[in-house]
Amino acid sequence: MKPYTMYINGRFVDAKSGKRMNVINPATEEIIATVPEGDTMDAELAAKAARKAFDSGEWPSLTHQARGRLLFKLAELVRKNKPRLAKLESMNNGKPLIESEFDIDDVATCFEYYGGLATKIYGEVAPVPDNAISLILKEPIGVAAGIIPWNYPLLMAAWKLAPALCAGCTCILKPASVTPLTALELAKLIEEAGFPKGVVNIITGGGATVGMALASSRLVDKIAITGSVATGREIMKTAAETNLKKVTLELGGKSANIFFADSDFEAAIDGALFGIFPNQGEICSAGSRILVEKSMLDKFVNAMVKKTKKIKLGDPLKRDTKMGPLVSLDQYKRVMKYIEIGKREGAKVCCGGQRPKNFKKGYFMEPTIFVKVNNKMRIAQEEIFGPVVTVIPFKDEEEAIRIANDSPYGLAGAVWTRDIFKAFRVVKKVRAGILWVNTMQPTFVEAPWGGYKQSGGGRELSHYGLEEYMQVKQVHINLNEAPIGWY
């Protein structure tokens, strides 16, 4: 069993308290590693290191080319270590190896993208009257803390670190307590790439301790959280009550995947499943509400059920596995609780709904489809974050849009139809930050990501994601040689 260390100020260290936490493989329920259980003291040490690396100018004053080169180097090291990182991700998170491999490629691409963007940060000149020049400079915000969830552990780390480092910020990253391993491996690659000490600090520990310490630290200028609405709310409140640090929130979702009767049927069934069942349904943008035009409801559900029953559950490390276990016992219990809530509400499980037979160990759960659902039920309003989908019929376009928008969330959505005019009418009316047409889930680092309503605020990825780590300085240069002449 590996005793991992945290990464603070360029050193691999234990928690000051000496405490450690176990890391579990959700497929076997075995302890696979231990990591330091950091607390407020460790968070403050990491914040001090990041503050020093920023204030000394060591990182923000490095040339943009040099910052870019380090990000490229990190991307190269991630690619070189892909087999090892992908395996570790699957062992810690439970996702099938093939999905972890996709994730690791995306991690490298994310570092590459922001490595390239580092040399393309331009300011502007404002069109003020002739007797002045007004320069608009883009400057890094300062010390950026990133708090991430367990569903895409290394990818979420890259989404936080890459734009922040590109902007010239120094960073503290806190991975989720249940999935810290690949982030701690990333720390070793950051060291190997040659980042100056203190520029990136990676600390492990609980949300209520380490996470909260970062949210309340006056040494931190910016905090970006990907997690649940409750955590986002807590962090925003704490940031407001301390030093009003800038906040980016990437929170939950309950996205509508809308199917009109004129869509390509085979592609639609595939898209309904792909919208919810990868990553065990632990996807923020999951199409967890499938809205189907009434005229094809029965045919659609039957086809979905038939295909869903063929999804192969099993050892995440086997190449033919299509679904692994849920990430933890807590998450397994949460999802099972929602199955019971749905049944009590009068919805009907037409596929799955229980632990698969013959699985003695692991937090496995069958892919589950609920029918006889109305959108007011808790299973249609609350984020379950597991392989559970609700099917809701609609009679026409107007009703589909109304149901899609009847949610506190607004992260994503998809619409399936061969009618491009209809697709665009729906896209424009659904209140969500990411909309797909005739597909669901493809995500590109070049395009912005983030939610409307309670799904969050701010954007990640693309140049929009970079802006979240920069602030604007306006510099007015006087060209008027005469005194102002007021007094």
Question: Which stretches of the chain bind ligand NAD, using CB under 6 A?
Answer: 147-151, 174, 176-177, 207-208, 211-212, 215, 225-228, 231, 234-235, 250-253, 284, 383, 385, 411, 451, 456
Minimum CB–partner distance for residue 225 and ligand NAD (Å): 6
Residue 241 burial (10 A CB sphere; 0-12, 13-18, 19+): exposed
Residue 102 corresponds to which amino acid?
F
Closer CB to ligand NAD, 151 or 280, in the complex = 151
Measure the CA dihedral 310/314/316/322, to 10°: 0
Minimum CB–partner distance for residue 150 and ligand NAD (Å): 5
Minimum CB–partner distance for residue 193 and ligand NAD (Å): 24
Closer CB to ligand NAD, 409 or 416, in the complex = 409
Closer CB to ligand NAD, 174 or 453, in the complex = 174
User: 250 an active-site residue?
Assistant: yes
Minimum CB–partner distance for residue 224 and ligand NAD (Å): 11
Pair 37, 21: CB distance under 8 Å? yes
Minimum CB–partner distance for residue 330 and ligand NAD (Å): 9
Report d(CA 219, CA 279) in Å as an integer: 36
Report d(CA 176, CA 227) in Å as an integer: 9
Report d(CA 202, CA 280) in Å as an integer: 27
Q: What are 349's two structure tokens?
A: 């499980």
Closer CB to ligand NAD, 147 or 373, in the complex = 147
User: 110 an active-site residue?
Assistant: no
Pairing of strands 434-437, 409-410: unpaired
Pairing of strands 170-174, 200-202: parallel
Closer CB to ligand NAD, 5 or 177, in the complex = 177
Report d(CA 213, CA 121) in Å as an integer: 32
Ramachandran assignment for 300, one of left (phi > 0), alpha (psi -120 to 50 degrees), beta (any other): alpha
Residue 115 CB contacts under 8 Å (≥ 6 apart), including other chains:
67, 68, 69, 70, 71, 72, 74, 75, 162, 166
Minimum CB–partner distance for residue 321 and ligand NAD (Å): 22
* Active-site residue identified among 99, 284, 383, 460: 284
Q: Where are the alpha helices (DSSP H) in 94-201?
A: 97-117, 153-167, 181-193
Phi then psi dihedrals of residue 437, to 5 deg: -120, 120
Closer CB to ligand NAD, 233 or 309, in the complex = 233
Q: What are 316's two structure tokens?
A: 């995440």
Closer CB to ligand NAD, 38 or 149, in the complex = 149
Placement of tokens 């990591």 in the chain: 35
Report d(CA 434, CA 100) in Å as an integer: 23
Q: What are 487's two structure tokens?
A: 């007094």
Minimum CB–partner distance for residue 96 and ligand NAD (Å): 18
Minimum CB–partner distance for residue 409 and ligand NAD (Å): 9
Pair 209, 233: CB distance under 8 Å? no
Closer CB to ligand NAD, 171 or 423, in the complex = 171
* Active-site residue identified among 250, 282, 383, 460: 250
What is the helix, strand, coil percentage profile of the chain, to 5? Answer: 40, 25, 35
Catalytic residues: 250, 284
